[in-house]
Chains A and B, each alone.
Chain A
């Protein structure tokens, strides 16, 4: 009470006026471009079309339960995220450890590794689509040179291979990001713990397990968290590479949401699916943070 009285005192109000004015443009942008659309999308997710026009209700969320396409797309998204993350993390960590040592040509390799990440995702999609073309593409062309039979290697056309291809492209593009974050983390670790470990006679594995890994945890958390959120909303590469096909084999939830909103013009249902995706991303992120932080505190 006392505080609020002070807050509204005449002198304070004058002091507050100027900062508020300065904040106003930022707040206006935030309100109009983030907050309002967010509230609006909640509203439309709770509206559905009937013969008598729009009606309020949770029918859009109910539809999720019986929508096979939604469930398969969701499953694809998680399988995609799991495999891509697994590969990106293990390769990224390996590279970071390797390039944290003093080997020749380190600077060049480090710089070269970052190139895929710098490219726009759409460009990456187009490049790979051309390379993976079964008849004219570079990948099968190279394999043919080595005398392999590439007849059945239709990278984007057979359901299994297509899924592998989209994972591969993501790994190609985003492993450098994981590598970069982990390398920065490695370089921030001071030398003293290593010296102490050396004196205690720990093996290389023990040093890695009990010194490097725990101290790298903040960087690991950031890398995993950002990649997971990105992977769960993957869109561009898949849209260019396979457009969700063949059939439904590589359709992820973002693609399905896009289709529902802009092709079928069902914004309410698309918004409902988006909120489910948001909720799931939140849950996973929270689990990560809990898991990695408590262990670090221990």
Chain B
């Protein structure tokens, strides 16, 4: 008898435990709350701040799910894949966009604009940025809005360039010559390397190679979509990268952003391709030995004019989001000129032309004109849903060439074969 009553009690408790969470979820208030998946970094920080402002203004609570860069992609893709609708808005890095959009995971924004009496995003958005949000690229339907407007810049030591009477590099050959001059002459108080780059496999090596590759006239795919990285132009570009490697600090074949910027901040390297997010650290005397000595400009060209790789953070609404309209309201508010200016003052680069030209902001960030120029002429990474896989394979072979394991020809031939295999698998 006693055992039965104990059993009964246990079963009752278990049953209550099982039912309780269910009850809670049904009581959720409608559209009074939005859930936002953001990157835990400077870019996500800006959006978090904006979300707090929005909550104050409208009373709509925004809960933030914050993930480090590497996890954000997988969390979002798992959510989109399993249609959980856990997030109303997601922040995504632009190379992920083709993958997310190819499976129709995202809400098309144009109907939502039309509902509000607008045709679409206004002309103030930078073309190169808004083009990233369309599928197909540039011409297709709109699935996101650009929020953080970054593209690569060329960083160099203007004091050393003045000292050796070197012109601002407009071609990669100039860069190589300058690297040589600086490294050979600048040895007082420790060595200064002419150049520094990231050649760790994966994203790093590819990002630091693409501008050289494009400047030499290299293309990843021909018009029919076949990979052609092993073209003579591509091999010439890799050869130049290896030449630059001779003027880079030893071990650069495993460098990532941290190491590259440590060298620049310590004044032990004179030039690099880099991202604007690092600019502010150079004027911070507690970190930087080169305060006031750095210049930031657009990328050099070679046979073609220089083009930077674009790296924008976009915001999209998942297809299964629970509060599509409330999410759109927030998205429009956050990307409005007024709000973007506030974010820009907090340190997040905008995606609007007028803000890059805004006198207050230019006074605060003198690099804005160069950044606008770089953004407007920038290029996206090849738009393919398999970009992650291709970038990984390409990066491995670039890194192998830089560590001396493969010749430039072998590296590019093998990379091409591997990319072809990846593409075939995707069909």
Q: B224 contacts the other chain (Cβ, under 8 Å)?
A: no
**Cross-chain contact of B254 among A63, A151, A156, A264 (Cβ < 8 A):** A156
User: Using an 8 Å CB-CB cutoff, how does the interface string of B69-81 with A read, 1 for contact, 0 for none?
Assistant: 0100110010000
**Do B250 and A151 touch across chains, with their CB atoms under 8 A apart?**
yes
On chain A, the residues within 8 Å of B167 by CB distance are none
B70 to chain A, nearest CB (A): 8
**Do A157 and B268 touch across chains, with their CB atoms under 8 A apart?**
no
**Cross-chain contact of A246 among B3, B73, B386, B400 (Cβ < 8 A):** B400
B25-40, CB < 8 A from A:
none
User: Using an 8 Å CB-CB cutoff, how does the interface string of A116-137 with B read, 1 for contact, 0 for none?
Assistant: 0000000000000000011110
User: Using an 8 Å CB-CB cutoff, how does the interface string of A48-63 with B read, 1 for contact, 0 for none?
Assistant: 0001000000000001
**Do A246 and B427 touch across chains, with their CB atoms under 8 A apart?**
no
Q: A209 contacts the other chain (Cβ, under 8 Å)?
A: no
On chain B, the residues within 8 Å of A262 by CB distance are 70, 73-74
Considering only CB atoms, which chain B residue lies closest to A241 in the complex?
B254
On chain A, the residues within 8 Å of B263 by CB distance are 135
**Do A154 and B251 touch across chains, with their CB atoms under 8 A apart?**
yes
Q: A70 contacts the other chain (Cβ, under 8 Å)?
A: no
Roughly how many angstroms separate A114 CA and B79 CA in the complex, as a whole number?
Answer: 42
Roughly how many angstroms separate A158 CA and B400 CA in the complex, as a whole number?
Answer: 9
What's the A-B contact tally at a CB cutoff of 8 Å?
97
Once A157-B252, A246-B399, A246-B400 are accepted as A-B contacts, the answer to whether A264 and B389 lie under 8 Å apart by CB is yes
User: Using an 8 Å CB-CB cutoff, how does the interface string of B7-27 with A read, 1 for contact, 0 for none?
Assistant: 100110000000000000000
Considering only CB atoms, which chain A residue lies closest to B400 in the complex?
A247
Q: A39 contacts the other chain (Cβ, under 8 Å)?
A: no
**Do A245 and B251 touch across chains, with their CB atoms under 8 A apart?**
no
Roughly how many angstroms separate A255 CA and B188 CA in the complex, as a whole number?
Answer: 43
Once A135-B263, A264-B389 are accepted as A-B contacts, the answer to whether A245 and B74 lie under 8 Å apart by CB is no
Q: A106 contacts the other chain (Cβ, under 8 Å)?
A: no
Considering only CB atoms, which chain A residue lies closest to B201 in the complex?
A245
Q: B182 contacts the other chain (Cβ, under 8 Å)?
A: no
**Cross-chain contact of B202 among A18, A243, A249 (Cβ < 8 A):** A243
Roughly how many angstroms separate A264 CA and B391 CA in the complex, as a whole number?
Answer: 10
Closest 9 CB pairs of A and B: A154-B251, A247-B400, A157-B254, A157-B251, A134-B251, A245-B201, A246-B403, A247-B399, A262-B74
Q: What is the interface of chain B, defined by CB distance below 8 A to chain A?
A: 3, 7, 10-11, 70, 73-74, 77, 99, 199-202, 249-255, 259, 262-263, 268, 386, 388-389, 392-393, 396-397, 399-400, 402-406, 425, 427
A245-B396, A265-B388 given. 10 additional CB < 8 A pairs?
Answer: A63-B425, A134-B249, A134-B250, A135-B262, A158-B403, A246-B400, A248-B400, A263-B73, A264-B388, A264-B392
